[in-house]
C-alpha cells in the first residue's frame, strides 16, 4: 500500500504542455479514479505515475520517496492496460509468471504467488490454456493476475474494461471492486465512463484539458459539483441545464423555459452574472410536482420505459431539452404535455461561464 503524491506535475510534448500542474494526494489503500473526456490527459498522468512517461516538471512521490527518476520496474507499481497484451504463445500460467521469472525469483515462490492470484481471480481451471482459448473477460482477468503476482504497492488501470461488452463490463467492475476489498492496495483507475467512476471510486478526480476540475467522493461530486462541467459530467442521464434571466426583486423569479420560477432570495444579490444564470436540475429531481416550489410545462418527445422507472425526454415551450426521471404514475407518451416540478433545495445554480453560484459565497 502507498501514498501517492503529485506536486505541480506537468507534461509537455515537443514544448507543448498537455498536463498543466497537477496537485493531488492519494491515500494508502484508496481507490482513486481519473475521469474525463478523451484527450484530457488521464493516460498521460497514469503513465507518468507508472514511469512509462517522463515527468516534465514537478514532483511525484510514492510512499514518501520522490520517484521522478526511479525506473518503472523499481517504483512498486503494476499497470493493467485496455488491450490486455498477453503473450499469445504462452499459457495463462506462463503469462502470469513471466515477470517473476524475468526477475529471477525461485520456483516455489513463483508457484505460490501465481496460484494465489489464480485463486483470487478464479482462473484455476484455465491455467494451461492459451489466450486465444479464453473469452475477453477471462483474458482481462489474466492481465490483472499478471499485475497481482508482482505484489505492487500501487495498481494502475488504464480503461481495463473498455474492450469488453456491456454485460461483461458490469461483471468485471464488480470483480475489480471485490479485488480492491480483498487486497486493500492503493488503486488508480482511468476511465471516461462516469458510471465506473461513481461505482468504484473512493475518490474521483475529474480532469479536463490537462487540469483538475474537482476532486471528491462520488457523492460530493454528485451533490456539490463546483462547476457546470463537473455537474454535466457526473450523473446519467445528465443534469438538466436551463438558462434564464433573474427578475430584479427581493423574491427573485427566473424567467426560463417559458415560465417564471421562484428562486431563493440570495440569488437576487448575485449580480456577478448580470442576472443571467444557469439552473441545474437532475432528472430524478424534476418529478416532484405536488410538493414542488417551481413548475414548468414540457412537451414529451420520447419516453424510455425501463420498468421500475422511465426517462421522459422533452422540450420546454422555449425549446430547451429536458430529461425527467418518472418513478410514479403512468408514463406519458410522445406528444403529451407534462407538468414537471422541483424543489429549490435540489436545484444548483451556475454562472453562464461555468462557476457554481452558492448562497455562502460573497458575490
- Which among ligand ATP, Mg ion, none contacts residue 87 (Cβ within 5 to 8 A by kind)? none
- The total of other beta-carbon atoms located within 10 Å of residue 206's CB is 26
To Mg ion, the closest distance from the beta carbon of 207 in angstroms equals 11
| b/e sequence 11-42, b meaning 16+ C-beta within 10 Å | beeeeeebbbebebebeeebbbbbbbeeebbb
To ligand ATP, the closest distance from the beta carbon of 250 in angstroms equals 46
Is the Cβ of residue 126 or residue 164 nearer to ligand ATP in the bound state?
Answer: 164
In the three-class reduction of DSSP (H, G, I as helix; E, B as strand; rest coil), residue 343 is classed as coil
Stretch that binds Mg ion, among 7-15, 36-44, 130-138, 288-296 (CB under 5 A): 36-44
> Could you give the CA distance from residue 284 to residue 150 in angstroms, rounded to a whole number?
44
Q: Is 191 in the site for Mg ion (CB under 5 A)?
A: no
Is the Cβ of residue 11 or residue 141 nearer to ligand ATP in the bound state?
Answer: 11
To ligand ATP, the closest distance from the beta carbon of 123 in angstroms equals 28
- Which among ligand ATP, Mg ion, none contacts residue 39 (Cβ within 5 to 8 A by kind)? ligand ATP
Q: Is 44 in the site for Mg ion (CB under 5 A)?
A: no
Is the Cβ of residue 16 or residue 125 nearer to Mg ion in the bound state?
Answer: 16
Q: Which three cell numbers stand for residue 256?
A: 426560463
Q: Which of 1, 36, 32, 2 is nearest to 19 (CA)?
A: 36
Is the Cβ of residue 54 or residue 122 nearer to ligand ATP in the bound state?
Answer: 54
Contact criterion met (CB below 8 Å) for 262 and 295: no
Residues near ligand ATP, by CB under 6 A: 13, 18, 36, 38-44, 192
Is the Cβ of residue 33 or residue 100 nearer to Mg ion in the bound state?
Answer: 33
Q: Which three cell numbers stand for residue 188?
A: 488508480
Is the Cβ of residue 40 or residue 188 nearer to ligand ATP in the bound state?
Answer: 40
> Could you give the CA distance from residue 174 to residue 107 in angstroms, rounded to a whole number?
32
Contact criterion met (CB below 8 Å) for 3 and 64: yes
Backbone phi, psi, residue 6, to 5°: -115, 130
> Could you give the CA distance from residue 126 to residue 76 in angstroms, rounded to a whole number?
28
To ligand ATP, the closest distance from the beta carbon of 234 in angstroms equals 16
Is the Cβ of residue 38 or residue 106 nearer to ligand ATP in the bound state?
Answer: 38
Contact criterion met (CB below 8 Å) for 199 and 209: no
- Which among ligand ATP, Mg ion, none contacts residue 199 (Cβ within 5 to 8 A by kind)? none
To Mg ion, the closest distance from the beta carbon of 81 in angstroms equals 10
> C-alpha distances in angstroms, 185 versus 2, 47, 243, 360?
8, 18, 44, 38
Q: Is 43 in the site for Mg ion (CB under 5 A)?
A: yes
To ligand ATP, the closest distance from the beta carbon of 203 in angstroms equals 18
To ligand ATP, the closest distance from the beta carbon of 36 in angstroms equals 6
Strand runs (DSSP E) across 50-171, as ranges? 57-62, 65-66, 77-80, 154-158
Stretch that binds Mg ion, among 39-47, 68-76, 122-130, 279-287 (CB under 5 A): 39-47
- Which among Mg ion, ligand ATP, none contacts residue 326 (Cβ within 5 to 8 A by kind)? none
Is the Cβ of residue 43 or residue 140 nearer to Mg ion in the bound state?
Answer: 43
Instruction: Enumerate the H helices of 184-300 as residue ranges.
Output: 194-200, 218-223, 228-233
To ligand ATP, the closest distance from the beta carbon of 82 in angstroms equals 8
CA 205 to chain centroid = 7
Q: Which of 293, 289, 311 is nearest to 301 (CA)?
A: 311
Is the Cβ of residue 142 or residue 205 nearer to ligand ATP in the bound state?
Answer: 205
- Which among Mg ion, ligand ATP, none contacts residue 13 (Cβ within 5 to 8 A by kind)? ligand ATP
Q: Which residues pair with 310 in a beta bridge?
A: 305, 326
To ligand ATP, the closest distance from the beta carbon of 210 in angstroms equals 7
Positions in the binding site for Mg ion (CB under 5 A): 43
Amino acid at each position: 500500500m502507498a501514498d501517492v503524491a503529485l506536486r505541480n506535475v506537468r507534461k509537455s510534448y515537443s514544448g507543448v504542455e498537455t498536463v498543466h500542474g497537477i496537485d493531488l494526494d492519494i491515500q494508502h489503500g484508496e481507490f482513486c479514479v481519473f475521469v474525463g473526456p478523451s484527450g484530457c490527459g488521464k493516460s498521460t498522468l497514469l503513465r507518468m505515475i507508472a514511469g512509462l512517461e517522463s515527468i516534465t516538471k514537478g514532483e511525484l512521490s510514492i510512499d514518501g520517496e520522490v520517484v521522478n527518476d526511479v525506473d518503472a520496474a523499481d517504483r512498486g507499481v503494476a499497470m493493467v492496460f485496455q488491450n490486455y497484451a498477453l503473450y499469445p504463445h504462452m499459457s495463462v500460467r506462463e503469462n502470469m509468471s513471466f515477470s517473476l521469472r524475468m526477475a529471477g525469483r525461485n520456483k516455489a515462490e513463483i508457484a505460490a504467488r501465481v496460484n494465489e492470484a489464480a485463486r483470487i481471480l478464479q482462473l484455476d481451471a484455465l491455467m494451461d490454456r492459451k489466450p486465444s482459448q479464453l473469452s475477453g473477460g477471462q483474458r482481462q482477468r489474466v492481465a490483472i493476475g499478471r499485475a497481482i503476482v508482482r505484489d505492487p504497492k500501487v495498481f494502475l488501470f488504464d480503461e481495463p474494461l473498455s474492450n469488453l461488452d456491456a454485460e461483461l463490463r458490469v461483471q468485471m467492475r464488480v470483480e475489480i471492486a471485490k479485488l480492491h476489498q480483498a487486497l486493500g492496495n492503493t488503486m488508480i483507475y482511468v476511465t471516461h465512463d462516469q458510471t465506473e467512476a461513481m461505482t468504484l471510486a473512493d475518490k474521483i478526480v475529474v480532469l479536463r484539458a490537462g487540469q483538475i476540475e474537482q476532486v471528491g467522493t462520488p457523492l460530493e461530486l454528485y451533490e456539490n459539483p463546483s462547476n457546470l462541467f463537473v455537474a454535466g459530467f457526473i450523473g446519467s442521464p445528465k443534469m438538466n441545464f436551463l438558462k434564464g434571466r433573474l427578475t430584479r426583486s427581493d423574491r427573485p423569479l427566473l424567467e426560463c423555459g417559458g415560465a417564471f420560477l421562484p428562486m431563493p432570495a440570495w440569488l437576487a444579490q448575485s449580480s456577478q452574472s448580470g442576472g443571467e444564470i444557469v439552473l441545474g436540475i437532475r432528472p430524478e429531481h424534476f418529478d416532484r410536482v405536488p410538493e414542488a416550489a417551481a413548475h414548468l410545462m414540457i412537451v414529451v418527445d420520447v419516453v424510455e420505459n425501463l420498468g421500475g422507472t422511465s426517462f421522459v425526454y422533452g422540450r420546454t415551450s422555449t425549446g430547451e431539452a429536458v430529461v425527467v426521471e418518472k418513478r410514479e404514475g403512468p408514463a406519458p407518451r410522445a406528444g403529451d404535455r407534462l407538468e414537471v416540478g422541483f424543489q429549490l433545495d435540489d436545484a444548483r445554480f451556475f454562472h453562464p461561464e461555468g462557476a457554481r453560484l452558492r448562497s455562502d459565497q460573497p458575490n
